[in-house]
Amino acid sequence: MADDIGLSGAPFETVLAQFRSRRILVVGDLMLDRFSYGSVGRISPEAPAAVINLDRVEEAVGGAGNVARNIASLDAHCDLLGMVGTDEAANAICRCLADLPRIDAHLVHAPDRVTTVKSRFVAKLHNTHLLRADVEDSSPISAELEQKVVRAAAELMPHVDAVLLSDYSKGLLTDDAVRKLIDSAHKAGKFVVVDPKGRHYERYAGADFITPNLNELSQSVGAPVDTEEHQVIAARKLMSVTKGRAVLVTRSEHGVLVVPAEGEATSFLATARRVIDVSGAGDTLVAGFTLALASGASIANAARLANYAAGIAVSKFGTACVTHQELADALLSRPDFHVQSKIFSGASPLRQAMTKWQEEGLVVGFTNGCFDIIHEGHIELLAEARSHCDRLIVAINSDASVSKLKGPTRPIQSERARARVISALAFVDAVVVFDTETPLELITDLKPNVLIKGADYKVDEVVGRAVVEANGGRVVLVPLVPNSSTTRIVEKMRKNEAVV
């Protein structure tokens, strides 16, 4: 086993660059995540239950498969070893995995077991989960199947950089299997990360890193973890059982806490600005943590990177994956100064960019204005607008449109100049100029997820509201900076007054 894992402390840019050359073996419980989306408009006459009119059904490989998907979406390679039945759900998992070229699936088929399926029914307007129905067999696998899994893992270990055990308590990772897998990994010189379940953590003895949530940590040591001090004490008690090198505690909205066997504990606050769906966030976190360690990050920085990845995941719908680019953007916080690439010549090329963003599960926001002489009010409006979406489109009135609205002496700056200034802002992702009196035609064409305007409007006065809401989106009004306007600035300049 590499003794320097977690100690070198390479910078994040170097760590992220290493992802593409890394390969992780994930062993764990596979399941099919099925999301049925529809609209809810009435209550059943047969029982006090909502009636959902289904629009679409989406399927993805979940459990350990979702860990593998996140490793692949972060541009690394993954060997996925798990078990399925011989039913239609198993066929669906195979179809899903076939579409993921960075994942090499090694599936053990068990004819006498059902494939685990989690079916979620979701009201699409507000992404409200109405019901989850599970099909599963969580009994321990047979000794024969266990031997197949352990043997297959041992054959793969020489070719990977790390081993990740994703335990969902569905029967694959028996006590004997876990012990044999950890021993085999160490013999091959690989470190082991465990995403655990249950309360008896002595079964994970020898694992280098373990990632319980607060409830699991409390159950594993039989002690309260209501303060960070108690969490550190519990984590060190857990390490005395597992003999590991660090415990990474996931704490939902409170971020993460990493407690190494040697040195001080470090905590990181949650980074998510919006929480839409927490499904699969733990899988994203453990995938990022393992990849970072395998790529030269220190234990603390691997935890920091994983925390950022989880923050991105919870801002998306469903068991969404985080891309390498998204993580790099969030972690390195580098604004795009290639302003011209953000300026779109019209609705058609912008629609193409929007489609790509939305296919990635990103929420696209839209706001508009003249933006003639950028001032504090503009900056606050756009920064607040960006907090309600993953990508922000800013539509700017053309010169002719501004003249109609503000008079013949306006605009002060040309539409080209205004577009370039706005596109230089880090929280703006796209800029487009429109020539009509209102942006209704543009909004109708693009159909953004969120429409943002200043609080000087009422919701029913916002142009494009009906279009956006009819498409399942929403309108957000953000507060304005008092006495902040281009007109006021111009008047003060004419009077030779100081502009505040």
Instruction: Give a yes or no: residue 500 inside a domain.
Output: no
Residues 389 and 305 in one domain: no
Domain count, the chain: 2
Instruction: Give a yes or no: residue 499 inside a domain.
Output: no
Residues 303 and 345 in one domain: no
Predicted confidence (pLDDT) per residue in 34-84, tens digit:
999 899 888 999 988 889 999 899 899 999 999 999 999 999 999 999 999
Residues 147 and 241 in one domain: yes
Over residues 348-362, the mean pLDDT reads: 80
432 or 335, which is more confident?
432
Predicted confidence (pLDDT) per residue in 231-245, tens digit:
999 999 999 999 999
Could you confirm whether 283 is annotated as catalytic? Answer: yes
Is 228 buried (19+), middle (13-18) or exposed (0-12) by CB count in 10 A?
middle
Q: What is the CATH number of the domain that holds 204?
A: 3.40.1190.20
Tokens standing for 411? Answer: 């605009």
Instruction: Give a yes or no: residue 5 inside a domain.
Output: no
Of 283, 372, 390, 429, the catalytic one is 283
How long, in residues, is the chain? 500
Mean pLDDT, all residues of the chain: 88
**How does residue 500 score in pLDDT terms, banded at 50, 70 and 90?**
very low
Greatest alpha-carbon pair distance for the chain in Å reads 89
Residues 277 and 349 in one domain: no
Measured distance CA(291)–CA(77) in Å, rounded = 10
Q: Which residues pair with 43 in a beta bridge?
A: 50
Which residue among 316, 332, 348 closes a domain?
A: 332
Residues 196 and 131 in one domain: yes
**How does residue 317 score in pLDDT terms, banded at 50, 70 and 90?**
low
Residues 287 and 347 in one domain: no
Predicted confidence (pLDDT) per residue in 458-487, tens digit:
888 899 999 999 988 899 998 876 666 666
Instruction: Give a yes or no: residue 266 inside a domain.
Output: yes
Q: What is the CATH number of the domain that holds 435?
A: 3.40.50.620
Instruction: Give a yes or no: residue 2 inside a domain.
Output: no
Residues 306 and 375 in one domain: no
Instruction: Give a yes or no: residue 3 inside a domain.
Output: no
0.75 exceeded by pTM: no
| Range in 181-190, 441-450, 487-496 with the lowest mean pLDDT | 487-496
Which residue among 277, 309, 332 closes a domain?
A: 332
Predicted confidence (pLDDT) per residue in 77-103, tens digit:
999 999 999 999 999 999 999 999 999
274 or 343, which is more confident?
343
Residues 326 and 452 in one domain: no
Omega of the bond leading into 411 within 30 degrees of 0 (cis): yes
Sheet architecture: strand order including 246-250: 103-109, 77-84, 23-28, 162-166, 191-195, 209-210, 246-250, 256-260, 266-268
**How does residue 104 score in pLDDT terms, banded at 50, 70 and 90?**
very high
Residues 94 and 243 in one domain: yes
Instruction: Give a yes or no: residue 96 inside a domain.
Output: yes
| Structure confidence at residue 334 (pLDDT) | 47
Residues 309 and 194 in one domain: yes
Tokens standing for 137? Answer: 């067999």
Instruction: Return the residue matching tokens 């003060």.
Output: 492
Which residue among 280, 310, 332 closes a domain?
A: 332
Residues 325 and 370 in one domain: no
Whether pLDDT at 448 is above 90 = yes
Domain of 211, in residue numbers: 12-332
Tokens standing for 441? Answer: 């035609």
Instruction: Give a yes or no: residue 87 inside a domain.
Output: yes
Residues 139 and 280 in one domain: yes
Q: Which residues pair with 194 in a beta bridge?
A: 165, 210
| Structure confidence at residue 7 (pLDDT) | 62
Over residues 307-330, the mean pLDDT reads: 82
